[in-house]
Amino acid sequence: MAKPTYQEFRPTKALQQMVEACWYFEPQFKQAQPDILVPEGVVDVIFNLGEPYFRQAIGPGDAAGQWVAEDVLVGQRNCLFKIIWPQQTRLFAIRLNPGHAHRCTQHPMAPLTNQTIALQQTHLSVLSAQLRSADVKDPKALVQICQRVLPEVVGPPALTHPNIQAALNLIDQHQGKIDVQKLSDALRITRRTLERQFKKLIGLTPKFYLRAKRLHYFLCSHKSQNNVLDAALQADYYDQSHFIKEFKTFTGETPQAFFASPPEIYEPLMQSLITKLHV
């Protein structure tokens, strides 16, 4: 039996406040494989244990891409990214809970949107060195090292900003189907205050984050519907044209084309999301 290409591991109780999950990606490619990454509303710390992979933003200006060989913290994305996975792809990563990534960088998250920062410039360089010196192949062993070293690196658990945590909880409860004004009203703060705090600690505007979460709710729920449009309406898209326009903004394709040939990492990630969103 072939081993799974993507595996996800729940954090220990001590890390649950900061870490959503650890994941491991080792596909069996016969040759380099093109792929896309959609905005997900998450920040990943990625340890590249294989060959360099190519990463390029797809959007206004289409800046030159880069081959990533080192271990990096990947900021929030608000555009598509083109990826080329090498034949020997092997990644181990920590998916950080929203609002906690700044503890690793000690910098506001907004400048890191669509950017990467080498772990040598962060507290996580210690963890990077530990993982590489261990030179283990079993992803569970990598997780154990992470669970041991990460608390030593970032210190004891710390609460994120109360406004941001309350906003994230409401967004999750509403599955992304709440607008920014209602969100700020519920928190009893001004919209401008919410937007400023959100961008600093999350790296995205609350409006864009809501759009990303609503799309993820759709991706998790569409298989249980008789057709894609039913699932889109349930996810609170106004009509078919609005949904298709929004879908293409995030994925670069129509729903029909996307689901006919989904990105390599799409299916396992959606299975992960299904367990976290209240479908």
Residue 80 lies in a domain: yes
The CATH number given to whatever domain includes residue 86 is 2.60.120
- Of 154, 189, 218, at which residue does a domain stop? 154
Query: Could you tell me if 34 and 117 lie in one domain?
Result: yes
- Picking from 185, 210, 207, the residue whose alpha carbon sits closest to that of residue 195 is 207
Does residue 1 lie within any of the structural domains?
Answer: no
**Residue 201 included in any domain:** yes
Strand ranges (E), 87-235: 91-96, 116-118
Domain count, the chain: 2
Is there a single domain that holds both residue 120 and residue 207? no
Please give the Cα distance from 94 to 146 (Å, whole number).
Answer: 8
Q: In the chain, helix, strand, coil percent, each to 5?
A: 45, 20, 40
Q: In the chain, what percentage of residues exceed pLDDT 90?
A: 46
In a domain, 16, yes or no: yes
Are the C-beta atoms of 25 and 265 separated by less than 8 Å? yes
Q: Using one digit for the tens of pLDDT, what is the confidence trace for 270-279?
A: 655 555 543 3
Residues 135 and 11 in one domain: yes
Q: Which domain holds residue 130?
A: 6-154
Same domain, 144 and 170: no
Q: Which position has the higher pLDDT, 131 or 107?
A: 131
Q: Is the pLDDT of residue 22 over 90?
A: yes
Q: Which of 120, 138, 154 is the last residue of a domain?
A: 154
Average pLDDT of the chain to the nearest whole number: 85
Can you name the residues that pair with 118 across neighbouring β-strands?
A: 72
What pLDDT is attached to residue 202?
Answer: 93
Query: What number of other Cβ atoms are within 10 A of residue 145's Cβ?
Result: 16
Verdict on whether the full-model pTM lies above 0.75:
yes
Please, which pLDDT band fits residue 196 given cuts at 50, 70 and 90? very high
Residue 136 sits at φ, ψ, to 5 deg, of -100, 155
Same domain for 141 and 106? yes
Assess whether 127 and 180 both reside in one domain.
no
Neighbours of 182 (CB within 10 A): 12
Q: Of the ranges 4-13, 34-43, 233-242, which one carries the lowest mean pLDDT score?
A: 233-242
Instruction: Identify whether residues 175 and 148 lie together within a single domain.
Output: no
Clarify whether residues 124 and 12 are in a common domain. yes
In a shared domain, residues 185 and 259: yes
Whether 223 has a pLDDT exceeding 70, the answer reads no
> Taking a C-beta distance cutoff of 8 angstroms, is the pair 67, 52 a contact?
yes
Q: Tell me: do 235 and 133 sit in the same domain.
A: no
Of 154, 172, 204, the residue that ends a domain is: 154
CATH (domain of 267) = 1.10.10.60
pLDDT at residue 270, as a whole number = 60
Residue 197 included in any domain: yes
Is 173 found in the same domain as 138? no
Residues 149 and 181 in one domain: no
